[in-house]
Amino acid sequence: MSSESSLFSHRWLPALLLAPLLLLIVLFFYVPVFQAFYWSFFLEQPFGGGSEFVGLQNFQRVLSDAEFWAATGRTVIFMLTASALAVVVPLMLAIAADRKIGMSYPARNILVWPKGIAGASIGVVFAFIFNPFVGLMGPLNALFPGLWNPGIDGTDAFITLVAAHVWSGIPFNFVILLAGLRSIPPTMYQAAAMDGAGPWRRIFDVQLPLIMPQLFLTFVLEFTESITSVFALIDTITGGGPGGSTTLLVYKIYVDGFRGFDLSGASTQTAILMVFVLLLAACQFYFLGRRINYER
């Protein structure tokens, strides 16, 4: 046996070790992904009623549906507003918590708590807190009727969704960004201070440039996250309403597929959403990744 070989050689053991996870991944990831694309070319009858190849008809139907475009538009708006806030708010908090001040210790502990609260749970809570009659805005609504009503006003409902999404997203982004800030060597600050950069100035000239990798990562993950995890919030806070004003794509797919039994339509939209998510990630890597300096 040669001692310089730095790897095991074995015929079937590695395959055996990988088999369970790969089997689950093929079954519950690749097959569903493939099937979504496959079904988007077929007209599927619910409950195994057979299927018929229809070429691009499903895409034609979905793409000419005004509801689909409206849901896509709302998804993009939500993605831009909610994920921007869900990164910028934790970023400010992380910069603040990185300073050696009394508040930063409780903050580092408490800001992680939302990680343990399910999106649907906080959805139920926010639905109550923002309830127009018994919630936070109840007294104000009594004084100025119609000031706040997420049940009627789509914008109010949308704001509630964004607030809940940012709340849920704080722990992950905060932890990642704080870890990035803490890995900046103190000599960097000292050098900047010698050059006359005060603490405010150093935020923009030292801290932000040096945590670009973490910032980039949180944006990439947050975009996907805001598209998918919003389902729990929509289902518990607004139910897609009022008047469909908070029906985002992920919710529309669920309603079309599980309530309307339109498997072909839902699969086609799933396929489109998947391509969208993958393209988004690819674009971000291509455009943002190139401009980031990973050197320390």
Instruction: Give the binding range for another protein (CB under 8 A) out of 53-61, 62-70, 109-117, 287-295.
Output: 109-117
Query: Of the two residues 158 and 230, which places its CB atom closer to another protein in the complex?
Result: 230
186 touches another protein (CB under 8 A): yes
Query: Of the two residues 30 and 69, which places its CB atom closer to another protein in the complex?
Result: 30
172 touches another protein (CB under 8 A): yes
92 touches another protein (CB under 8 A): yes
Using the rule CB under 8 A, which residue among 57, 229, 245, 284 binds another protein? 229
Using the rule CB under 8 A, which residue among 13, 152, 283, 292 binds another protein? 13
CB of 212 to another protein, least distance (A): 15
240 touches another protein (CB under 8 A): no
- Tokens 């529309």, located at residue: 252
Q: Which residues, 6+ apart, have CB-to-CB distance to 167 below 8 Å? A: 114, 122, 126
Residue 285 and residue 216: Cα distance in Å, rounded? 9
Are 184 and 207 in contact, with CB atoms under 8 Å apart? yes
- Residue 160, judged by CB atoms within 10 A of its CB (0-12, 13-18, 19+), counts as buried
Using the rule CB under 8 A, which residue among 56, 88, 278, 279 binds another protein? 278
Locate 66 and state its tokens: 């005004």
45 touches another protein (CB under 8 A): no
Site string for another protein, 63-82 (x = CB under 8 A): --------------------
239 touches another protein (CB under 8 A): yes
Are 247 and 231 in contact, with CB atoms under 8 Å apart? no
Kindly write down the DSSP assignment for every residue of 88-141, as one continuous string: HHHHHHHHHHTS--TTHHHHHHHTTGGGGS-HHHHHHHHHHHT-TTTSTTHHHH
Site string for another protein, 113-152 (x = CB under 8 A): xxxxxxxxxxxxxxxxx-x-xxxx-xx-----------x-
267 touches another protein (CB under 8 A): yes
87 touches another protein (CB under 8 A): no
Are 130 and 47 in contact, with CB atoms under 8 Å apart? no
Beta bridge partners of 44: 51
29 touches another protein (CB under 8 A): yes
Query: Of the two residues 29 and 69, which places its CB atom closer to another protein in the complex?
Result: 29
Locate 231 and state its tokens: 């389902």
